[in-house]
Amino acid sequence: MTKFFQYLKSKSFLRYLIVFLCFLLTGCFILLYSYFNVTTIKLKKINNSQEIKRLSDSADIYMDTNRKDSAIYFFNKAKKLCDPKVNTIDYVYILSCIAEIQMNHGNFIDSEDHANQAIPYLKYIKNPRYTWIVYNIIAINHANNYDDNTAIIYFKKCLALNSSAWRRYLATNNLAASYMNQGKYEEAIALLHPLLAQKPVSQYEDIDTVNYAFVIDNLGFCYFKQKEYKLALHYMNEALKIRLNEPTQDGLVINYIHLIKYYEKSNPKLATQYAKSAYAHTLKTKNAKDEIRALSMLIRHTDDKNLKTYSKNYIRLIDSSIATQQKIKDQSINIKYDSKIDKDENLQLKADKAEDELELERQKKRNIILYVIIGFTLNVLLILIFKLTSIGRKNKNEAIFTSESRISKKLHDELANEVHHTILFAEHNDLDNEANKEQFLNSLETIYSHTRRISKENSIITTDGNYEMTLKEMISEFKTEDQNILIHGFDGILWSKLEKNKKIVLYRVLQEFFVNVKKHSNPTLISLTFKIVDKYVIINYIDNDTESGNENLFLKNELQNVESRIKTINGTLIFGPNSQSGLKVSFSFPL
């Protein structure tokens, strides 16, 4: 059990654990990637943005070409596909378009209903344009239902928005019109008069001109009610001139009605002429609402033979208007009925959608679990890496301490006595004596040689292209007149293929081995053979020292450091059996 716990603390176990955690992390990331892919597919299934856009574009075309029934049909189809939380802008836009069409057809109740459906989603849209459109539609619906107080509230909401100058201009004019309906002409003038001095507020000159005509026409009528007749006539005539020269002639009928009211007492004949002009214009535009207004003025200000015809046409238009209102209500009922049928038909689709959303929620929870696992694994990895780094630093410090201790011991064992004896010799002998002097110098030479050898043993080892020559030189340094070293197969090793750390370890192993051999045995002939067997470098050492059997046992103990070194490169050191033929040692390590 103790060995097991020691293994758990070892660097090998920590490395294996790091590899396992890396595989675990990779698996988690693969799972996350697959979940994200599935989620994307699910979202694509739920999101109908492209189809909504296609249907909305078709509806816009029908709306622009005055085919309102077709426009509402396509807008409703697009609306059914909308998820208000996902397609918020499309949903609000569609509702506002349906509301606008219904408003223009006089179906103010359903128009307001559709506009109110959009209100809860306006807070999710940053662009104030959509909020302005919805509030403006609600305000106009209330104004058309003679609820000017509510209309004023919503027109003021339009003005409070950070919208374009053109929309602010329009909202101000509409607010003034509501004050005019309430007879608050001074408040209306206070709003309208500053608009006269404003620069163009739209990128289109025609729109600016039309809006300006509305402003000065309303301003003229306000001055008329305030009995400032000169100013009133000036502004109303200027508005009429602008509208007669404009292709659309928007607001021309209202302009004529204002002039009729201006002249109905002072110049009845001119008032009648304006009434006829207004009626003639409505016959061209085929606007039933304007035609009813024009006929109302014409009946009031004419007594000629056409009065009966005007009256019949007025009654016919009123009846037609009532029928149209009923038709609109019926269409609204049909739309609601069709909507119910579509809901029934799409019940399975909605169930699938709910199931998809539930699956996405489950996936979200699985993702959270994976994130927790990844976070935990990353933290463990960081701890393990820190632990490995600490162990490596500790081992490095221990190696430095061991190396320094070994050098210190070697200095003490090999030099301390020599230095001490040399100092004593110098103190107690006359160095002027030639023999003493010669002995003293020999002692210094011996100290220098030992110091130089120890220094070289611990110097930096060359591992580049000169490594082969450096290794040979180191081995050759152990040759003496009484000890010969034969090297075999040295050139057969591809030293350039050997890793840097293996070169260093081999150099130190051979160096330390020869040092210990020199200390504990006395061979006259050493054979060193290099060869490669099964991708292993094998080095066989054989000498002819036949008198050091017991010393060889001592040598084994001294070579523990050598054995530890070679194990760092997964190598082995094997002592041959003691025999009368000398010492045999084998080193081996993988290429």
CA distance 78 to 94: 8
pLDDT at site 217: 95
Q: Binning pLDDT at 50, 70 and 90, where does residue 460 land? A: confident
CA distance 134 to 167: 12
- Average pLDDT of every residue of the chain: 82
What integer is the mean pLDDT of 271-298?
A: 86
CA distance 526 to 543: 4
**pLDDT of residue 223 exceeding 70:** yes
Q: Which CATH superfamily is domain 461-590 in?
A: Histidine kinase-like ATPase, C-terminal domain (3.30.565.10)
pLDDT tens by residue, 364-383 = 787 788 777 777 777 777 77
* Same fold: 50-162 with 164-247: yes
Q: Binning pLDDT at 50, 70 and 90, where does residue 540 land? A: very high
Cβ atoms within 10 Å, residue 156: 14
pLDDT at site 3: 52
Q: Report whether 210 contacts 169 (CB < 8 A).
A: no
- Which contacts of 127-130 are long-range, i.e. CB under 8 A and separated by 24 or more positions? 127/89, 128/161, 128/162, 128/163, 129/163, 129/164, 129/167, 130/89, 130/92, 130/93, 130/96
Strand order in the sheet with 484-488: 484-488, 525-533, 536-543, 584-590, 572-575
What integer is the mean pLDDT of 340-358?
A: 59
Q: Report whether 251 contacts 213 (CB < 8 A).
A: yes
pLDDT tens by residue, 65-75 = 888 889 999 99
Top-tier CATH class for 50-162: mainly alpha
Q: Retrieve residue 134's tokens.
A: 């919805």
**pLDDT of residue 121 exceeding 90:** yes
CA distance 485 to 161: 100
**pLDDT of residue 215 exceeding 90:** yes
Q: Retrieve residue 103's tokens.
A: 């408003």
**pLDDT of residue 350 exceeding 90:** no
Return the residue matching tokens 């003490």. 412
> Across 18-22, 459-463, 560-564, 586-590, which has the greatest mean pLDDT?
586-590
Identify the CA nearest to 458 among candidates 499, 511, 397: 511
Of residues 150 and 334, which shows the higher confidence score? 150
pLDDT tens by residue, 244-267 = 998 888 889 999 999 999 999 999
- What phi-psi label fits residue 146: left (phi over 0), alpha (psi between -120 and 50 degrees) or beta? left
Phi first, then psi, for residue 583 (nearest 5°) are -90, 140
CATH dotted code for 164-247: 1.25.40.10
Task: Show me where the domains of the chain are located.
Answer: 50-162, 164-247, 251-339, 461-590
Of residues 33 and 125, which shows the higher confidence score? 125
pLDDT tens by residue, 141-198 = 999 999 999 999 999 999 999 988 889 999 999 999 999 999 999 999 999 999 988 7
CA distance 206 to 247: 9
Whole-angstrom Cα Rg for the chain: 53
pLDDT at site 290: 82
pLDDT tens by residue, 304-327 = 777 888 888 878 878 776 666 666
Cβ atoms within 10 Å, residue 587: 22
pLDDT at site 177: 94
pLDDT tens by residue, 10-67 = 556 666 677 777 777 777 677 666 666 655 545 454 568 899 999 999 999 999 888 8
pLDDT at site 589: 92
Percent of the chain at pLDDT > 90 equals 35
- Predicted structure pTM score: 0.52
What integer is the mean pLDDT of 447-462?
A: 70
CA distance 568 to 570: 6
3-state secondary structure (DSSP) of residue 525: strand
CA distance 486 to 478: 11
Of residues 408 and 362, which shows the higher confidence score? 362
Of residues 127 and 384, which shows the higher confidence score? 127
* 108-112, 144-148, 402-406, 502-506, range with the lowest pLDDT: 402-406
Identify the CA nearest to 528 among candidates 542, 514, 515: 542
CA atoms within 13 A on the CB side of 337: 6
